Structures are given as C-alpha cells and as structure tokens.
C-alpha cells in the first residue's frame, strides 16, 4: 500500500492535521487504464489512521517515559537538594551552634570569673575581719597581761619597799599646786612611813604648807588619796593601773 503514496505529512499536536497530496497510481499501468479512485482513497485513509494511532501510542509512551524520567530526576534532585540543604543547614547550625556556644561559654566564663572575684573579695573581707578580730583579741590580752604584771610588780615593790608609797604621795602632791592645804589618806600599813616622811614631802613639793595624814582602814597597802577644797586625787596603785589600762585600751581600740 505504501508504494501508492508518494508523500504524506502527519503532524502530532493540538490541533491534529493530516495532509495527503498527489495520490496517484505508480504501478506501471498505462494512463488510459486508471485504478478505481474510491478504493485507493479508502485504503490510504485506513493506513493514515493506523499510522496516526501508532504515532499517538508512541507519543504517549514517549510522554509517559519522559514524565517518569522527569519524576525520577525531580525526586533525585529533591533528595540531593534535601541532603545538601541538610548538610548545609547542619553546618550552618553547627557553626551557629558553635558561635552561640562560644558566646554562651564566654558569657558563662565571664560570669564564673565575676562570681569567683566576688567570692575572692568576700574571702578577703572575712580574712581581714578575722585578722582584725584576732589582733584585737590579742592586743586586749596583751593589755590585760601587761597591766596584771605591772600591778603585781608595783604591788610587790610596795610590799618590799616601804618608801615606794612615798613616790605615789609625792606625785599626787605635785598635782595640788592650786591649794596649800591637803589631807592625805593612806592604808594603815603605810601610815607610819608617810608620817615619818612628812617634813621631807613638804620640802620637796612647793605650794603646800599644811599636810594632814589620815589612816583609812578600808584602803589596801599602796593606796593614796588626797583631799583638797577642790576635790579628790586618787594616786594609789590601783587607780594608776586603771588609768594606764584605759590609755592602753584607747591606743589599741578599733572603732
């Protein structure tokens, strides 16, 4: 049948058009004996329809195959893109996480340093307080021991040296230059030595013309109390130790 078709053109698409041209007999028969035209046209149309159907099937197969390939390529590209995107995102996330972790670590490190500095300052403050407290307690103990030793030394001196009390009396009388009459009260243990030294005391201290000496039963040995018209002066050992202790505590006190 194909030998009877000199040319045909088939276009697949939308719209679909089939063209057939120069359908003539070419089988060596004389021109004066033409073939039956209707039969030729029917067979040609049938062949064309067959070719069209086959072309449509091929086109459908090609399209289906192309669509399948396209889907495969798309899926593969999507998977690759997902993997690449995931890796990129992971790297970015890891880098971001590292940066955030670094910043967080730096902030935590600074916070730790600040906390350690505060703790160090607090420890130093407590240490200084403890040191000051120990020094203060030690100084108080030193003062107490010194006064106690001085009291014992002077007490022993007064006990062993009968004239030791005379030095206390003399110093007390020197503070009474504003008056010329003084009453001296001493311990019964010291009364005799003071009375026997009365003239010497008046000669050594200027301004006092009259010295009355009395023994006070309640006063311990080494006590010395001067009474004037302006008041009293306690020059005994205990009074002096109290004043010395007061001075020591003022010098070593912490406000």
pLDDT tens profile 38-87: 554 555 566 666 666 666 666 666 666 666 666 666 566 656 555 555 55
pLDDT at 31: 47
- The secondary structure element, H or E, covering residue 215 is strand 210-215
Question: What are the CA-CA distances from residue 154 to residues 40, 64, 111, 151, 165 (Å)?
Answer: 164, 128, 63, 5, 10
The region, left, alpha or beta by phi > 0 then psi within -120 to 50, assigned to residue 28 is left
Which CATH fold topology does 161-252 show? hypothetical protein PF0899 fold (3.30.2320)
pLDDT at 56: 64
Long-range Cβ pairs for the range 92-95 (8 Å, 24+): none
CA-to-CA distance for 134 and 221, rounded, in angstroms?
A: 37
Question: What are the CA-CA distances from residue 239 to residues 9, 49, 198 (Å)?
Answer: 146, 147, 22
Is residue 47 a contact partner of residue 1, using CB atoms and an 8 Å limit? Answer: yes
CA-to-CA distance for 205 and 202, rounded, in angstroms?
A: 5
pLDDT at 18: 42
What are the average pLDDT values for consecutive 10-residue runs of the chain, which has 255 residues?
A: 41 45 44 46 60 63 64 61 57 59 65 74 79 73 75 72 82 80 90 91 87 91 86 83 77 61
pLDDT at 36: 46
| Predicted structure pTM score | 0.43
């Amino acid at each position: 049948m194909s030998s009877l078709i000199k040319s045909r053109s088939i276009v697949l698409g939308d719209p679909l058009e089939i063209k057939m041209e120069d359908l003539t007999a070419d089988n060596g028969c004389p021109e004066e004996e033409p073939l039956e035209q209707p039969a030729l046209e029917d067979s040609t149309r049938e062949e064309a329809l067959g070719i069209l159907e086959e072309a449509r099937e091929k086109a459908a197969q090609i399209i289906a195959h192309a669509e399948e390939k396209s889907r495969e390529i798309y899926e593969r590209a999507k998977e690759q893109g997902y993997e690449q995107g995931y890796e990129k995102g992971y790297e970015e996330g890891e880098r971001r996480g590292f940066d955030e972790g670094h910043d967080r670590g730096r902030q935590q490190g600074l916070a730790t340093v600040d906390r350690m500095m505060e703790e160090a300052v607090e420890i130093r403050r407590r240490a200084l307080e403890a040191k000051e407290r120990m020094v203060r307690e030690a100084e108080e103990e030193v003062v107490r021991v010194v006064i106690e030793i001085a009291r014992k030394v002077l007490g022993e001196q007064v006990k062993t040296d009968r004239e030791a009390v005379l030095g206390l009396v003399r110093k007390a009388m020197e503070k009474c230059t504003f008056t010329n009459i003084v009453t001296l009260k001493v311990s019964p243990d010291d009364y005799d030595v003071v009375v026997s030294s009365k003239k010497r005391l008046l000669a050594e201290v200027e301004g006092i013309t009259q010295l009355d000496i009395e023994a006070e039963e309640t006063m311990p040995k080494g006590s010395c109390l001067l009474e004037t018209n302006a008041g009293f002066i306690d020059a005994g050992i205990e009074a002096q130790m109290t004043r010395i202790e007061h001075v020591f505590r003022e010098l070593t006190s912490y406000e």
